[in-house]
Amino acid sequence: MSTSTNRTNTRVKPIVYLNIGETFFSDGFHEIRTILGSCVSVCLFHEHTKFSAINHILLPKVSSVKEEQKSLRYGENSMENLISFFVKRQIPRIELRAKIFGGTQSPLFPNFTAGTKNIQFVSEFLTNEKIPIVSQNIGGEFYRKLSFHTDSFDVYITKLNPQTIEDVSVQERHFETKVKERMLKKTTIYTFNQ
């Protein structure tokens, strides 16, 4: 898709906003944006075909609750989903390259260790799949605004200001708490405050 203005023939990339538990696949010209605290995003790409994919993982392991078994909030499901996108197009896994981002350990919540677990999970998953990690920006105390350009595979990271960090961290902890409550109550209803 391309658009033009009266002054120039500048091609404008469609912008896609990626939320927790979502994935996006592309063979062209997009800018994918997301915000990462303890969550992790993996950008996978194949240089020859120009196919690429990105996810947004909340937690590494799938819960035992039936309703959660296929949720892409979990790294196990989300990573398999990304890999299958390439496999269905007969792209060998060993030809893929990965960039990983996120996994913040906020000083505001020292006992909240989801970030560390997410980093460990995706690193081990990619190692087991023999997919090289060519770039990463993980861990630390700051939250990230990520911009993934699917035509070049470039990723730009912006450090977020302290107020935004606190807001995102609270939202992530609230979301994880709701997931755990659902697991305990075995209900299919989510209620989240924005």
Q: Which CATH number is 165's domain given?
A: 3.30.1330.200
Q: Which residues contact 85 (CB under 8 A, 6 or more apart)?
A: 25, 51, 53
85-107 b/e (C-beta count within 10 Å ≥ 16 → b): bbeeeebeeeebbbbbbbbbbbe
Structure tokens, 72:
């892409």
Whether the Cβ atoms of residue 45 and residue 97 lie closer than 8 Å to each other: yes
The domain tally of the chain equals: 1
- Residue 7 in any domain: the answer is no
Q: 95-143 pLDDT, tens per residue? A: 999 999 999 987 766 777 899 999 999 999 999 999 999 999 999 988 8
In the chain, at which residue ranges do the beta strands (DSSP E only) sit? Answer: 15-17, 23-26, 31-36, 40-46, 51-55, 97-102, 133-138, 144-149, 154-159
pLDDT attached to residue 183: 43
- Residue 9 in any domain: the answer is no
- Residue 22 in any domain: the answer is yes
- Per the structure, the complete domain to which residue 87 belongs is given by 15-185
User: If pLDDT is split at 50, 70 and 90, which confidence band does 170 have?
Assistant: low
pLDDT at position 6 over 90: no
